[in-house]
Amino acid sequence: MSLVALERVGVSLGGRRVLEGVSLAIEPGEIVTVVGPNGSGKTTLMRLVIGALTPSEGRVLRAPGLTVGYVPQKLHVDPGLPLSVRRFLSLPRPVSRAEAAGALEEAGVGHLAGRQMTELSGGQAQRVMLARALTARPQLLILDEPTQGLDQQGSAAFYRQIEELRQRHGCAILLVSHDLHVVMAATDRVICLNGHVCCEGAPAQVASAPEYRALFGTGTQGALALYRHEHDHGHDHAAHAHAHGPEDGAADARGLALDAAGPHGAGAGPGTGTGAS
């Protein structure tokens, strides 16, 4: 069964509709990336998955006993709290010295064990949080904007590492990112979010699909357009199913469901959707 499944989930925060009719499932061992502009509900979606938020509509199903490793984008440690990296790894579950050292080494920050959390740079802190998440032996690893603050080479290296993590730990990985290069490189499935699921599919197939070219153009401009394009339009949700797993991708010849398949029709050029980006 799926590790986590969202069924027609809607969320309103402070009277504002943040998510609407979102259905998706994360299967064991797959790497899924959620992309979307600022304010598109990416963080809300992630908080639903970790259980920090209950949906206003629909439901979130979690596999029984699911273990989640969560790596937030930032961690604010109050300067009044003395906390070494080693001690941080034992929160909330105590881990042995060897286990901690191994996880830090795997995250590429083995030399930081004795440091204080407040002394770390943003990138170092994220790697330490990754090490902490790995010690939980997660079935699902969740990473929020893991490449923010990294240059392109750093990002590329990080995503090669993501693939290694999956192979070594056999965990599913849910990424939230705006970095499309990443999406193309290391993801099984991309979910494009803007309050609702706009499109979903395998990245390579997305890139080569005629709809993709028609909608977003080609080359890097196209890649940029994938998350810049205007999503504030109606969807005929019945017209295309959103819940593709990698294994049922073959059912859809192109393995994706783009907006173009909706009521706008495939012929809709970029002009229809670029009103206010």
Q: Which residues bind another protein (CB under 8 A)?
A: 47, 50-52, 68-70, 72, 75-78, 80-84, 87-88, 90-94, 114-116, 119, 136, 142
Nearest approach, Cβ of residue 212 and another protein (Å): 33
Nearest approach, Cβ of residue 224 and another protein (Å): 29
Whole-number Cα distances in Å, 231 to 38, 63, 228, 259, 276: 12, 31, 9, 9, 10
Nearest approach, Cβ of residue 79 and another protein (Å): 9
Q: How far apart are CA 48 and CA 59, in angstroms?
A: 10
Q: How far apart are CA 245 and CA 133, in angstroms?
A: 25
Choice between 138 and 222, CB closer to another protein: 138
Choice between 69 and 201, CB closer to another protein: 69
Beta-carbon count within 10 A of 238 CB:
7
Q: Half-sphere exposure of 155 toward its Cβ, with a 13 Å CA cutoff? A: 19
Angle, CA of 245, 71 and 99, to the nearest 5° = 105
Nearest approach, Cβ of residue 114 and another protein (Å): 8
Choice between 15 and 92, CB closer to another protein: 92
One-letter identity of residue 58: G
Choice between 68 and 182, CB closer to another protein: 68
Q: Half-sphere exposure of 228 toward its Cβ, with a 13 Å CA cutoff? A: 14
Choice between 83 and 239, CB closer to another protein: 83
Nearest approach, Cβ of residue 84 and another protein (Å): 6
Q: How far apart are CA 199 and CA 97, in angstroms?
A: 44
Nearest approach, Cβ of residue 172 and another protein (Å): 14
How do beta strands 172-176 and 140-144 pair?
parallel
Peptide bond into 138 cis (omega under 30): no
Choice between 142 and 225, CB closer to another protein: 142
